[in-house]
Homo-oligomer: A and B are copies of this chain.
Amino acid sequence: MNRLFKATVTDNKQIKKDHYLLTLHPFKKINRPEPGNFFMLSVDSSLDPLLKRPFSMHRWLGFDFQILYRVAGKGTGILSKRRPGDLLDVVGPLGNKFPVAKTHDKIILIAGGLGIAPIFSLAEKLKKNKHLLFYGAMTKEELLCIDELKSLGIEPVIATDDGTLGYKGVITDILKKFLTQNSKLKTQNYLYACGPKPMLMALSLLARKYDLKGYMALEQNMACGLGTCLGCVVNTVDGYKRVCKEGPVFRIEEIVWE
């Protein structure tokens, strides 16, 4: 199926200071996006910004879908001004997905900041008793979807850098504590993570130390989103791989951080 489509903005709600929840209604039935997949969105028909912007699938509503985003610069700034009824060009769903094997005993989800956008969709898809969610943010004000998580029956372990909610500290430190206290957790588990680079780097170290397996979703500047421009590579043990095609989800141990 041709993954280029037009979508109507049905809602574009400011949920926190810089954070918005966008609901899109595609003009045609689209492929069902899986947790980890992303979409390329034209925020505008102007030549500035020029390129489409990538956003993770946050919530699939059966036909419509949602994007959770933060105003990071020009493109997301413009996006935040789109109103119900506006049309956007979209390509997707793109990329691979979080591969959740049935056999995994227990799953640990780790979200840092906006990493909650795709991790939420994964949490929603999994049975609630099969996973534990660690969720960190700079401050209470940047914790998103807490109510939605609760209504799914999910009680995340929360950490904030400033301690305004949950543990004080970075989420990987909290995770580390858990791992040392629950040695059983270590081997039978799979980690699924998304978040800022420092968090993912810390997680990689942790995974190596405790010999944990798992996956993480990465970001990289993108132009095509389709695997053709070779612009979005990350370094792996097997050489450069494209985040938009072989990713955005990679095995934790395959990423080579510079």
Instruction: Report A's interface with B, CB cutoff 8 A.
Output: 44, 46-48, 78
Contact = CB atoms under 8 A, between A and B. Distances in A.
Nearest to A81: B86
A46 B48 CA distance: 6
A246 to B, nearest CB: 33
Which secondary structure dominates chain A's binding surface?
loop
Contacts of A48: 46-48
A200 to B, nearest CB: 33
A84 to B, nearest CB: 13
A97 to B, nearest CB: 34
Contacts of A46: 44, 46, 48, 78
Contacts of A47: 47-48
A43 to B, nearest CB: 10
Nearest to A47: B48
A47 B75 CA distance: 12
A98 B44 CA distance: 40
A101 to B, nearest CB: 46
A48 B46 CA distance: 6
A78 B46 CA distance: 9
A47 B44 CA distance: 12
Nearest to A83: B83
7 contacts: A44-B46, A46-B46, A46-B48, A46-B78, A47-B47, A47-B48, A48-B48
Contacts of A78: 46
A46 B75 CA distance: 10
Nearest to A44: B46
A50 to B, nearest CB: 8
Contacts of A44: 46
A145 to B, nearest CB: 30
A244 to B, nearest CB: 25
A52 to B, nearest CB: 16
A251 to B, nearest CB: 40
A47 B74 CA distance: 11
A112 to B, nearest CB: 31
A47 B78 CA distance: 13
A78 B47 CA distance: 13
Sorted from nearest, which 6 A-B pairs have the closest CB atoms? A47-B48, A48-B48, A46-B46, A46-B48, A44-B46, A46-B78
A44 to B, nearest CB: 7
A47 B47 CA distance: 8
